[in-house]
């Protein structure tokens, strides 16, 4: 406002007398001159205004840059939002697919377990008439092991009833390389025609105890898969416990223990369950209570 008043003052004086800006020729009245510092203030105000205009221009330029950056960020955010929505959609579809796959894998695992059990059962049933002969020296069976076994087994086991009735379908050594210069012969595996003959042979072998051939021990075992052998072997401790306690038992095919205990016929597929049941049922009635029972008593 001060600058505009100064400009208006000098403009009026120039209009009255351009040649004598300080006085009037007509009236002769003296016009008061402006204060001596008015021109300096006007120059300083002009410089301040110029600085303000420059500052405003810089601020507007920065604001424009900021606006352009914000607009570009908005565009990028829109792109990111779209991509995030697509990623969430794909993630949801993936989770659904994974859930379906997990269900399918679980069903397949159950199917594989069932098929494995059926395969093991079929494999072991196909070996039900097989026997393993361990300790027979190499070459004693000659070129016809079937005829040798049919003739030799009745005399070895003292079973004259089988001398003319024992039928062996086939026989062969275990599929292992023959080790030279050693006294460890390969196992001889043979299949009998009748399952009853196998039971008679095993029963007679258990009855006779140690069998010898030319002063060398020979052993007869039932033929079974490795998995079934390990399962049946796990019942060794329970069978020994049953023998010590005079409990009648039988290890049924494929790996199931039957015991006649306290007037009950019980079956177990887990040796630990059978052992715990026998031990708990064999405790006397006047046995001291367990710490847990003592805590539960009033």
Q: Which of 88, 105, 126 is the last residue of a domain?
A: 126
Residue 148 tokens read as: 């040798």
**pLDDT of 292 strictly over 60:** no
pLDDT at 109: 95
d(CA 255, CA 232): 5
- Which residues on adjacent β-strands are paired with residue 23? 30
Query: Residue 283: how many CA atoms within 13 Å on its side-chain side?
Result: 11
**pLDDT of 296 strictly over 80:** no
Q: What's the pLDDT tens digit per position in 154-207?
A: 989 988 888 888 999 999 888 777 766 566 788 899 999 999 999 999 989 888
* One domain, residues 159 and 102: no
By residue range, what is the domain housing residue 190? Answer: 128-223
Going by pLDDT thresholds of 50, 70 and 90, the confidence category of residue 11 is low
pLDDT at 114: 93
290 vs 228 pLDDT, higher one: 228
Please answer whether residues 9 and 34 qualify as being in contact, where contact means their C-beta atoms are separated by less than 8 angstroms: yes
154 located within any domain: yes
* One domain, residues 143 and 215: yes
Q: Which of 43-52, 61-70, 278-287 has the lowest mean pLDDT?
A: 278-287
Residue 273 tokens read as: 């369950």
Structurally, the chain folds into a number of domains equal to: 3
pLDDT at 71: 87
* One domain, residues 218 and 251: no
Q: Using CB atoms within 10 Å of the CB of residue 251, give its burial: 0 to 12 exposed, 13 to 18 middle, 19+ buried.
A: middle
pTM above 0.85, yes or no: no
* One domain, residues 181 and 249: no
* One domain, residues 119 and 159: no
Which H, E and C letters describe the chain, residue by residue?
Answer: CHHHHHHHHHHHHHHHCCCCCCECCCCCCECCCCCCCHHHHHHHHHHHHHHHHHHHHHHHHHHHHHHHHHHHHHHHHHHHHHHHHHHHHHHHHHHHHHHHHHHHHHHHHHHHHHHHHHHHHHHHHHCCCEEEEECCCCCCCCCCHHHHHHHHHHHHCCCHHHCCCCCEEEEEECCCCCCCCCCCCCCEEEEECCHHHHHHHHHHHHHHCCEEECCEEEEEEECCCHHHHHHHHCCHHHHHHHHHCCCCEEEECCCEEEEEECCEEEEECCHHHHHHHHHHHCCCCCCCCCHHHHHHCC
d(CA 14, CA 202): 145
252 located within any domain: yes
**pLDDT of 108 strictly over 90:** yes
CA distances from 273 to 250, 262, 277 (A): 16, 17, 6
* One domain, residues 147 and 217: yes
- CATH of residue 268's domain is 3.30.250.20
* One domain, residues 236 and 252: yes
What is the rounded average pLDDT for all residues in the chain? Answer: 80
| Cα separation of the two ends of the chain | 104
Q: Which of 96, 126, 156 is the last residue of a domain?
A: 126
Q: Which of 93, 108, 126 is the last residue of a domain?
A: 126
d(CA 151, CA 73): 98
142 located within any domain: yes
Q: Using CB atoms within 10 Å of the CB of residue 164, give its burial: 0 to 12 exposed, 13 to 18 middle, 19+ buried.
A: exposed
- CATH of residue 146's domain is 3.30.70.1820
* One domain, residues 122 and 133: no
* One domain, residues 261 and 247: yes
Residue 172: CB atoms within 10 A of its CB come to: 14
Q: What's the pLDDT tens digit per position in 197-240?
A: 999 999 898 888 888 888 889 999 888 887 877 888 888 888 88
* One domain, residues 142 and 217: yes
* One domain, residues 145 and 191: yes
Please answer whether residues 135 and 221 qualify as being in contact, where contact means their C-beta atoms are separated by less than 8 angstroms: no
């Amino acid at each position: 406002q001060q600058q505009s008043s100064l400009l208006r003052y000098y403009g009026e004086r120039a209009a009255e007398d351009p040649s004598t800006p300080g006085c009037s020729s007509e009236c002769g009245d003296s016009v008061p001159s402006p204060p001596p510092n008015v021109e300096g203030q006007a120059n300083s105000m002009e410089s301040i205004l110029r600085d303000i205009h420059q500052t405003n221009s810089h601020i507007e330029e920065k604001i424009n840059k900021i606006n352009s950056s914000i607009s570009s960020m908005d565009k990028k955010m829109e792109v990111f939002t779209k991509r995030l929505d697509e990623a969430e959609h794909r993630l949801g579809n993936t989770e659904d697919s994974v859930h379906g796959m997990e269900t399918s894998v679980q069903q397949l695992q159950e199917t594989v377990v069932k098929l494995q059990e059926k395969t093991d059962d079929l494999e072991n049933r196909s070996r039900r008439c097989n026997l393993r002969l361990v300790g027979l020296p190499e070459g004693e069976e000659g070129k016809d092991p079937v005829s040798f076994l049919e003739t030799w087994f009745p005399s070895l086991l003292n079973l004259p009833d089988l001398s003319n009735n024992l039928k062996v379908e086939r026989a062969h050594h275990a599929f292992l390389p023959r080790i030279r210069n050693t006294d460890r012969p390969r196992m001889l595996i043979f299949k009998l025609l009748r399952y009853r003959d196998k039971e008679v042979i095993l029963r007679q072998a258990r009855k006779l105890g140690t069998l010898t051939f030319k002063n060398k021990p020979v052993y007869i075992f039932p033929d079974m898969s490795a998995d079934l052998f390990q399962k049946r072997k796990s019942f060794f401790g329970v069978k020994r416990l049953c023998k010590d306690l005079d409990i009648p038992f039988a290890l049924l095919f494929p790996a199931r223990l039957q015991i006649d205990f306290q007037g009950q016929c019980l079956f177990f597929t887990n040796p630990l369950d059978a052992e715990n049941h026998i031990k708990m049922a064999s405790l006397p009635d006047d046995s001291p209570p367990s710490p847990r029972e003592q805590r539960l008593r009033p």
